């Protein structure tokens, strides 16, 4: 969660707007995560400066990884080393201490630049000989102190530094300036100017003659600070992580704790509400045997139907013929008061059959 919120906090507190073009100043000892975890840093329009001092490191080995995120495919990044004093290369290789740049595709690093190490000193542009005391100082040329990223919307920077022992002369330091640039511009663009007529890369017009080198090209002298009649001091604003102290980290920890508590409380409230809704829906549902399938608008729908009423018991069967003869019903008058005739009961005489019919014939005379 800290890594996800870090770019937002940095963009709100550390990156200046395009109109003011204030330099954001970062302390690498506080910006980088322990163990070399990646820090995503948005770099939209304004330049930024980065500083590292071995005396401020809490552990014996400093490992840092920063991913600069640009705002558009039309932009690139200039890197200029203002100064550096770390371990020199051994047999031409920077082993213990180095600064390196590159780019990646998803989670795979696709390119790494040559490592920068050793000593970078002096201030450019160098004044003409004999005009000041700086004319005799040693100045590292531009070609050894610049890097350009113009192929991707992101640029990775890796820094590794071992804390020197007590007998090491002085302390190790790194100081560099990172400037976003436009890959091309024309005369209609009033906010950007080319570093020179021979180069198509453009920086904001307010960065010319501000005392900081922003056109980090491999030229003999910095093009944006060359032939300046008046050099204005750059506006540098410490970022949130530049001067971060106990109060900053305490406030950030409190913010994360409040966000965590709020998230847990919201999730539990939603679970409770959903549980109540499901209970109400279950109580309103009819029984399984009372639900049938109906058809409405070509779709099957569940239709509730009521169960049929329980059947009435069948009426008693009438008595058999034999029972009726053996137990005749009692005499009861009719509705008009007349007595019913007695039930028919055959007698032996009535059961005697008449003699069979025998026809007689009479014959008349002819």
Q: In this predicted structure, which of 17-21, 87-91, 111-115 has the lowest mean pLDDT?
A: 17-21
Residue 35 lies in a domain: yes
* Maximal CA-CA distance, the chain: 195
On whether residue 296 sits in a domain, the answer given is no
What pLDDT shows up at residue 160? 96
The reported pLDDT for the residue numbered 300 is: 55
Higher pLDDT, 189 or 66: 66
Q: Residue 263 has what pLDDT?
A: 86
Percent of the chain with pLDDT strictly greater than 90:
41
Q: Calculate the CA 36 to chain-centre distance.
A: 23
Judge whether residue 289 has pLDDT over 60: no
In a domain, 326, yes or no: no
Q: What is the average per-residue pLDDT within 66-90?
A: 94
Give the burial class of 48: count Cβ atoms within 10 A of its Cβ; 0-12 exposed, 13-18 middle, 19 or more buried.
buried
What confidence tens digit (pLDDT) does each residue in 236-251 have?
Answer: 766 654 444 444 556 6
- Partners of 260 in the beta sheet? none
Query: Which pLDDT score is estimated for 19?
Result: 44
CA dist., res. 27 & res. 25, Å (int): 7
Per the domain annotation, does 357 fall within a domain? no
Between residues 114 and 10, which one has the greater pLDDT?
114
CATH of residue 255? 2.60.120.290
Pairwise CA distance, residues 329 & 159, whole Å: 121
Write down the pLDDT at residue 325. 74
- pLDDT in the model for residue 352: 54
User: Within a domain: residue 19?
Assistant: yes
What is residue 131's predicted lDDT score, i.e. its pLDDT?
A: 58
Identify the H or E element spanning 258: helix 246-284
Paired tokens of 204: 């904001």
- What sign does the dihedral 56-58-59-61 (CA atoms) show? negative
Evaluate if residue 107 carries a pLDDT over 90.
no
Residues 6+ apart with CB under 8 A from 302: 291, 292, 293, 294
Q: How is residue 37 written in tokens?
A: 């975890």
Average pLDDT, the chain: 78
Examine residue 328 and state whether it is found in any structural domain, yes or no.
no
Identify the band that residue 191 occupies on the pLDDT scale cut at 50, 70 and 90.
very high
pLDDT tens digit sequence for 137-179: 889 999 999 999 999 999 999 999 999 887 788 899 999 999 9
* Domain that residue 19 falls in: 2-259
Number of domains comprising the chain: 1
Confidence of residue 69 (pLDDT cuts 50, 70, 90): very high
- Most confidently predicted of 119-123, 278-282, 322-326: 119-123
Instruction: Say if 322 falls within a structural domain.
Output: no
Tell me: pLDDT of 344 over 80: no
What's residue 327's pLDDT? 72
pLDDT, tens digit (0-9, with 9 covering 90-100), for 22-38? 999 999 999 999 888 99
218 falls within a domain? yes
pLDDT category at 7 given cuts 50, 70, 90 is very low
Q: Which position has the higher pLDDT, 91 or 336?
A: 91
The pTM for the full model equals 0.60
Q: Which of 49-58, 65-74, 134-143, 171-180 shows the lowest per-residue confidence on average (mean pLDDT)?
A: 134-143
Spatial distance between the Cα atoms of 178 and 166, rounded to a whole number of angstroms: 32
């Amino acid at each position: 969660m800290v890594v996800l919120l870090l770019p937002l906090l940095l963009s709100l507190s550390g990156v200046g707007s395009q109109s003011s073009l204030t330099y954001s100043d970062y302390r690498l000892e506080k910006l980088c995560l322990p163990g070399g975890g990646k820090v995503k840093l948005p770099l939209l329009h304004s330049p930024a400066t980065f500083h590292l001092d071995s005396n401020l490191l809490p552990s014996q080995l400093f490992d840092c990884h920063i991913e600069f995120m640009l705002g558009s495919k039309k932009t690139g990044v200039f890197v200029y080393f203002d100064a550096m004093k770390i371990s020199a290369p051994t047999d031409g290789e920077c082993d213990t201490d180095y600064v390196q740049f590159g780019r990646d595709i998803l989670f795979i690093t696709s390119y790494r630049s040559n490592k920068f190490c050793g000593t970078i000193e002096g201030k450019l542009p160098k004044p003409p000989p004999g005009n000041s005391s700086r004319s005799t100082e040693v100045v590292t040329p531009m070609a050894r102190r610049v890097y350009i990223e113009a192929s991707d919307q992101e640029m990775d920077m890796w820094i590794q530094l071992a804390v020197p022992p007590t007998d090491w002369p002085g302390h190790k330091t790194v100081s560099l300036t990172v400037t976003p640039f436009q890959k091309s511009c024309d005369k209609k663009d009033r906010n950007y100017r080319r570093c020179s007529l021979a180069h198509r890369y453009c920086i904001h017009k307010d960065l010319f003659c501000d005392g900081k080198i922003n056109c980090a090209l491999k030229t003999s002298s910095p093009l944006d600070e060359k032939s300046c009649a008046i050099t204005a001091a750059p506006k540098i604003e410490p970022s949130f992580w530049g001067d971060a102290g106990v109060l900053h980290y305490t406030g950030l920890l409190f913010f994360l704790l409040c966000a965590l508590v709020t998230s847990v409380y919201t999730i539990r409230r939603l679970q409770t509400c959903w549980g109540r809704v499901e209970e109400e829906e279950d109580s309103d549902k009819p029984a399984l045997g009372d639900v049938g399938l109906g058809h409405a608008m070509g779709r099957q729908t569940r239709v509730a139907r009521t169960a049929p009423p329980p059947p009435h018991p069948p009426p008693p069967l009438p008595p058999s013929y034999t029972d009726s003869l053996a137990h005749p019903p009692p005499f009861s008058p009719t509705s008009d008061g007349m007595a019913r005739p007695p039930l028919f009961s055959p007698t032996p005489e009535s059961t005697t059959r008449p003699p069979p019919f025998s026809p007689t014939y009479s014959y008349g005379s002819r």
